[in-house]
Amino acid sequence: MEKQRIKEGIERYLKVKHGIKLKDAKDYEIFNAVSLTVLEEIIDNWNTTTETYSKGRMAYYLSAEYLMGRALGNNLMNLGVYDEVKDVLSELNIDLNRIEEIEEDAGLGNGGLGRLAACFVESAATLDMPLVGYGIRYSNGLFKQNIENGFQTECEDTWLKYGEAWSIRKDNDIQIINYSDMTVKAVPYDVPIIGYGTKNINTLRLWQCEALREFDFNLFNNQQYIEAVSGRNKAEDISRVLYPNDTAEAGKILRLRQQYFFSSASMKDIIKKHKAKFGSDFSEFAKYNVAQLNDTHPTISILEFIRILIDEEHVEFSSALAIAKEFFGYTNHTILAEALEKWDIRLIDRLFPRILQIAYKVDEALVNELRQRSYDEGAIWNFKIIANDQMRMANLAIYVGRAVNGVAALHTEILKKTELNHWYHLYPNKFQNKTNGITPRRWLRLCNAELSELITDLLGSEDWVKNLELLKGLEKYKNDDKVLERLMSIKHEKKVQLAEYIKQEEGIIIDPNSFFDIQIKRLHEYKRQLLNALYILDLYYRIKENPDLDIPKTTFIFGAKAFPGYRRAKGIVKFINEIARFIDNDSEVSKKIKVVFVHNYKVSYAQKLFPGSDLSKQISTAGKEASGTGNMKFMLNATPTFGTYDGANIEIVQESGEHNNYIFGLRVEDIEKIKHSYDPKWYYRENPSIKRVVDTLINGTLDDGRTGYFEDLYNALLEERDQYYVLADFELFKKSQEQVFEDYKDKKKWAQKCFANLYSSGIFSSDRTIKQYADEIWYIKPAPIK
């Protein structure tokens, strides 16, 4: 982009969008003007990409979440115009970094599922793959988290308050969605997905729910104002909030409406595109189209797709089911029962009875197939899509899906050997592994410019940004003192930046010369933030007993959101914050250790935390974390993993060596052996350290504000048999952490561990993952535009 055009574009959009001149513009107005200037530049390539893709086979990625992060910096970097725009703004006395900071993180996702989807659509664009993402344009994200007196509090995440420059409303493609009790509009907003070093611009289509009528004029005229807009409010509720609380039936109904809303809109959109090319002939539909279900949330798409073919396109049921079996693929992200969705058929019948009829027909087809294969009725029950008055969405996805994939080697093996073993015996050829990945653009090139510069200097080019396997070329420098010193100097610089950011965001001062031990992820019992917290409390007592305990000064950093209805997770948030307060109030211990719980953990915060880390905590109960991608982001930023033999940790240590990481704790096979005889009370009785820290939950040492949170955590450990094996892994955790502290004393040895993780991380690029999906499930090929 020419500098003059950038300048003119900014001035033009400030004028037409905000009616102001540059000298009077606020930061968010400048952000909008810069974004629209760039958007204008890419429109032609975006339209050409869409047209090029439509001529061949297309893949569609259906996900309830896309945790995109901020768009501006990433888009400028991928387009290769970051420096030009920075220079232009500098000439106008504007700091680009300040403008980037004003952008709200898009409130379209929450955890690893959504961040993976964001990495995938970016990688597909970078690789020129014909992939379109579908999701929901939530008006509000999950929630904004604050910490008040140690408690998590929630308020609305109004990410659209300044408008949203990076999307285009497409009224020509509105779809009408029918429920038994209401009809709404699905309005598409297209977001450009800009690949790195390519002219191709892919599309993420997000559906916003709107009422067919703005308001009832007659009711309004009769001065019944609330009633007049109730229909609009009810429609807008469907896309108002990501994952509304579903602890009560009203929440479950809203979640179900959401899933059907974006599934129905997406299926209608795909079918509309197909008909524009081939008319009403669906015989070759699956030759040109393939859809990937990102977990069970969009699985109702299968039934809606079959319904549309039967009811609207007059295709026979058997043919519609056969087409669906070639069209859909299913990614399983977890073995946790709570995430393998089951819906009460009473709710399905209430909202869309025709979908339930279709489900019974699909279930009947499955049962007939199993009977033909000589399965007895008892065995068939485990496969059924509808059983116990529930619709089992995972069973539906596996039966119809052309492929079923796990997201890490161990996870896929667990699916095959235990959790989905009966399905694996039925359809062994369906099951595949696709180890997750992360985009190196956002998670290294953008968030760690200093480390990126070192890599480019050593490798002699920036080709690694599109081919992460080239990082292996760094290995020859593993004993080079100057390279290792420069690496650790960069690490320290990123820690200084993180410390400054935490001071700005939290009002807390931390020492960048201390050891930064970081655990950042969704708050869930299986991720075991509680184990980390209990360890820190034990360390506090050991320092009290021995003030000269030989450990480096350490800052333990947590970041996590607990779902609003997840009481126990909120109790863990309070427990961690009480430990932080307890340590801060001790003038001696606080000289050695500090605990910080950063509020409202999100992508833009993560972009500071990953580069500024000394240790990556990945301590899920073995067998529970399907993959993890945070572990990969730490690794890519030259950070050793401290974790269990679980998820992608296994592949991380295979790549970089167990001696460069810290693996501790029970493994899947160990848990299998002890799970029926496990007695957490034995650990509590026999280990004084465990008893001391667990007792703080009930003896008044720490205060939960009379909420009962801490007593509940105590009961989870001792009365509910500690289902995540926190106490069983406590001493093993402690021993490994002591090894970390010992190894950290040898600065060169530690630098080599960090460097080994960096040069071994190439396999964890989402480019590699997407290429595997493209080659082995979707059968799509790159289609670069001219």
528, 617 Cβ separation under 8 angstroms: no
> Per-residue pLDDT averaged across 367-373, rounded?
98
CB neighbour burial string for 281-301, b if at least 16 within 10 angstroms, e if fewer = ebeebbeebbbbbbbbbbbbb
The answer to whether the pTM exceeds 0.95 is yes
Name the CA radius of gyration of the chain, rounded.
Answer: 27
Residue 744 has pLDDT above 90, yes or no: yes
> Per-residue pLDDT averaged across 87-115, rounded?
95
Backbone angles phi, psi at 515, to 5 degrees: -80, 120
Question: Quick one: pLDDT at residue 743?
Answer: 98
Give the 3-state DSSP-derived string for 182-204, with helices as H, strands as E and coil as C.
CEEEEEEEEEEEECCCCCCEEEE
Question: Quick one: pLDDT at residue 509?
Answer: 98
Question: Quick one: pLDDT at residue 215?
Answer: 85
- CA separation (Å) from 225 to 211, 212, 222? 16, 18, 8
- CA separation (Å) from 702 to 64, 576, 710? 39, 10, 9
> Per-residue pLDDT averaged across 681-708, rounded?
98
Two tokens, residue 708: 């009962």
94, 165 Cβ separation under 8 angstroms: no
Cα gap 314→35, rounded to integer Å: 45
- CA separation (Å) from 350 to 141, 185, 288, 332, 779? 27, 20, 35, 28, 38
Residue type at position 379: A
Cα gap 191→133, rounded to integer Å: 9
Q: Say how many Å lie between the first and final Cα of the chain, rounded.
A: 18
pLDDT tens profile 413-465: 999 999 999 999 999 999 999 999 999 999 999 999 999 999 999 999 999 99
Which residues, in sequence order, are CB contacts of 786 under 8 Å at separation 6+?
Answer: none
> Per-residue pLDDT averaged across 109-127, rounded?
96
367 C-beta neighbours (distance < 10 Å), count: 17
Question: Quick one: pLDDT at residue 454?
Answer: 98
Question: Quick one: pLDDT at residue 135?
Answer: 98
Q: At what angle do helices 72-79 and 82-91 cross, to 10 degrees?
A: 120
Angle (CA) 9-80-53 rounded to 5° is: 90
Question: Quick one: pLDDT at residue 132?
Answer: 98
Cα gap 614→754, rounded to integer Å: 8
Give the 3-state DSSP-derived string for 480-522, with helices as H, strands as E and coil as C.
CHHHHHHHHHHHHHHHHHHHHHHHHHHCCCCCCCCEEEEEECC
Residue 339 has pLDDT above 80, yes or no: no
385, 306 Cβ separation under 8 angstroms: no
108, 206 Cβ separation under 8 angstroms: yes
706 C-beta neighbours (distance < 10 Å), count: 6
Q: Would you place residue 162 in the very low, low, confident or very high pLDDT band (cuts 50, 70, 90)?
A: confident
Q: Which of 27, 179, 49, 184 is nearest to 103 (CA)?
A: 27
Backbone angles phi, psi at 451, to 5 degrees: -70, -35
Question: Quick one: pLDDT at residue 340?
Answer: 85
pLDDT tens profile 133-161: 999 999 999 999 999 999 999 999 999 98
Backbone angles phi, psi at 294, to 5 degrees: -85, 85
Helix (H) / strand (E) element for 556: namely strand 554-559
% pLDDT > 90, the chain = 96
pLDDT tens profile 508-522: 999 999 999 999 999
Give the strand pairing for 144-148 and 151-155: antiparallel
160, 191 Cβ separation under 8 angstroms: no
Q: Which residues are catalytic?
A: 333, 521-522, 527, 629, 633
pLDDT tens profile 56-86: 999 999 999 999 999 999 999 999 999 999 9
DSSP per-residue string spanning 127-157: TT--EEEEEE--SB-S-EEEEETTEEEEE--
Two tokens, residue 113: 């599922």
Q: Would you place residue 1 in the very low, low, confident or very high pLDDT band (cuts 50, 70, 90)?
A: confident
Which residues, in sequence order, are CB contacts of 286 under 8 Å at separation 6+?
Answer: 323, 326, 327
Which residues, in sequence order, are CB contacts of 272 under 8 Å at separation 6+?
Answer: 173
Burial class (CB in 10 A: 0-12, 13-18, 19+), 373: exposed
Which residues, in sequence order, are CB contacts of 205 under 8 Å at separation 6+?
Answer: 132, 133, 134, 135, 170, 188, 189, 190, 191, 266, 269
CATH code of 54-69+105-436+771-778, in short, is 3.40.50.2000
Question: Quick one: pLDDT at residue 642?
Answer: 98
- CA separation (Å) from 151 to 132, 401, 703? 40, 43, 11
Two tokens, residue 89: 């703004």
Of residues 753 and 227, the one with the higher pLDDT is 753
Burial class (CB in 10 A: 0-12, 13-18, 19+), 361: middle
Q: What is the mean pLDDT of the chain?
A: 97
CB neighbour burial string for 32-66, b if at least 16 within 10 angstroms, e if fewer = bbbbbbbbebbeebbeebbebbeeebbbbbbbbbb
% pLDDT > 70, the chain = 100
Domain residue spans of the chain: 54-69+105-436+771-778, 447-672+732-764
Question: Quick one: pLDDT at residue 488?
Answer: 98
> Per-residue pLDDT averaged across 339-359, rounded?
96
- CA separation (Å) from 312 to 250, 280, 325, 358, 392? 30, 10, 19, 14, 26
Q: Which of 726, 744, 746, 750 is nearest to 538 (CA)?
A: 726
The strands making up 593-598's β-sheet, listed across from edge to edge, are 593-598, 554-559, 515-520, 615-618, 641-643, 662-663
Backbone angles phi, psi at 628, to 5 degrees: 85, 140
> Per-residue pLDDT averaged across 10-38, rounded?
96
Question: Quick one: pLDDT at residue 503?
Answer: 98
Residue 22 has pLDDT above 80, yes or no: yes
Q: Which of 68, 44, 65 is nearest to 446 (CA)?
A: 68
pLDDT tens profile 615-650: 999 999 999 999 999 999 999 999 999 999 999 999
Q: Would you place residue 244 in the very low, low, confident or very high pLDDT band (cuts 50, 70, 90)?
A: confident
Two tokens, residue 85: 């725009």
- Does the fold of domain 447-672+732-764 match that of domain 54-69+105-436+771-778? yes
> Which CATH class for the 447-672+732-764 domain?
alpha beta
Two tokens, residue 779: 């059968």
Residue 337 has pLDDT above 80, yes or no: no
Q: Which of 5, 481, 564 is nearest to 243 (CA)?
A: 564
Which residues, in sequence order, are CB contacts of 374 under 8 Å at separation 6+?
Answer: none
Question: Quick one: pLDDT at residue 168?
Answer: 98
Cα gap 39→46, rounded to integer Å: 10
pLDDT tens profile 186-231: 999 999 999 999 999 999 999 999 999 988 889 989 999 899 899 9
Q: Which of 466, 768, 439, 488 is nearest to 606 (CA)?
A: 439
Question: Quick one: pLDDT at residue 245?
Answer: 84
Two tokens, residue 173: 């493609």
Question: Quick one: pLDDT at residue 786?
Answer: 87
Residue 21 has pLDDT above 80, yes or no: yes
Helix (H) / strand (E) element for 387: namely strand 386-387
Question: Quick one: pLDDT at residue 736?
Answer: 98
